[in-house]
Structure 1
Amino acid sequence: MSSRDQILAAVKQHQPEASVLPSLEGLSGNMPGTLEAYRKVLEGLGGSLFEIKDESEIPALLAEHYPHLQRIIRVGDEQRAWINEDPHLLEDVDMAVVPGQWGVAENGAIWLTEAEIPVRVLPFICQHLAIVLPAGRLLPTMHEAYEKIGAPQTGFGVFIAGPSKTADIEQSLVLGAHGAKSLVVFITAG
């Protein structure tokens, strides 16, 4: 066993016990958890939203709105050979389509975990990111989202809201500076 493996094994062996998140009862605001409230915030962040009946509509929408895409990876597709690839080999992914667990109307964020995304780097290394979320999974605020998430069930989870962006001291905004250049959310009827 290499020294790296020994260190990682020791860290894994000495993890603290998982604990339940504190109750946030009474801290929720008055933000509605509606599709329109979510859309307004998401589009304000530079993202886009499509309402679809089911996921079979996604390829046609991608072809129409992103005609230049060469390599598209859809989490959940039958072809899953990319999961075992070296994550560095995913650098040429033009679009990653991943499932989300919970959407938050107040900030446009969507909760993703490694249960849905077997390669953690995928939503960050792709040029464009698409997240599929059932309409019934929209929540008004982060307080409700934390209540739904509860105690951590996986080793990795992240809220993603809009395409990445950064601004310099002169207030010049750059989208896609350190992650996906665009974010599209597909809201399914289910």
Structure 2
Amino acid sequence: MSSRSRILDMVKANQPDLKELPELFPSWDADQSIVETFKTVLTVIGGTVVPLANLEEVASYISEQYGSKGRIISTLPELAPVTEAGWENKDPHEYENV
């Protein structure tokens, strides 16, 4: 028996016991709100929850909060009034200050 075979046999013989994998998508408790969990996590990591009802409110919020602070781009045509036009397909370095 070669040393390679002997090493492979020893590795095969010394494997840990198999463990059952955890559930991929654990079910949520009926009284646990996914939205509330998201809000809590976002706040804990330093984010801010801004409840908005429609895209007009989103556009208004963007222009109020970020209007003169830099470049804003979006793929949503509904946000075109508050975002930069013609930003697609440019050199990636041109997106550094977005």
Q: TM-score range by the shorter chain?
A: 0.5 to 0.7
- Paired with 2:60 and 2:45, the residues of 1 have a C-alpha distance of 24
- Paired with 1:88 and 1:38, the residues of 2 have a C-alpha distance of 33
Shift of 1:91: 1.1
Counting only pairs closer than 5 Å after superposition, residues 33-72 of structure 1 correspond to structure 2 as 33-72=33-72
Shift of 1:70: 2.6
Please say if 1:92 is aligned against 2:97.
Answer: yes
The TM-score normalised by the length of structure 2 is 0.54
Shift of 1:81: 2.6
Which aligned runs of 4 or more in structure 1 are off by greater than 6 angstroms?
A: none
- Paired with 1:80 and 1:25, the residues of 2 have a C-alpha distance of 45
Which of these two proteins has the greater Rg computed from alpha carbons? 2
SS in 1 for 2:37: helix
Q: What is the identity, as a one-letter code, of the residue corresponding to 2:26?
A: S
- Paired with 1:71 and 1:42, the residues of 2 have a C-alpha distance of 24
Which stretches in structure 2 are left out of the alignment for 5+ residues? 1-21
Q: What is the identity, as a one-letter code, of the residue corresponding to 2:61?
A: L
* Larger fraction in strand: 1
Aligned residue for 2:4? none
Aligned residue for 2:26? 28
Shift of 1:65: 2.8
* RMSD after superposition: 2.8
Shift of 1:64: 2.8
How many percent of aligned residue pairs carry the same amino acid? Answer: 27
Structure of greater relative contact order (alpha carbons < 8 Å, 6+ residues apart)? 1
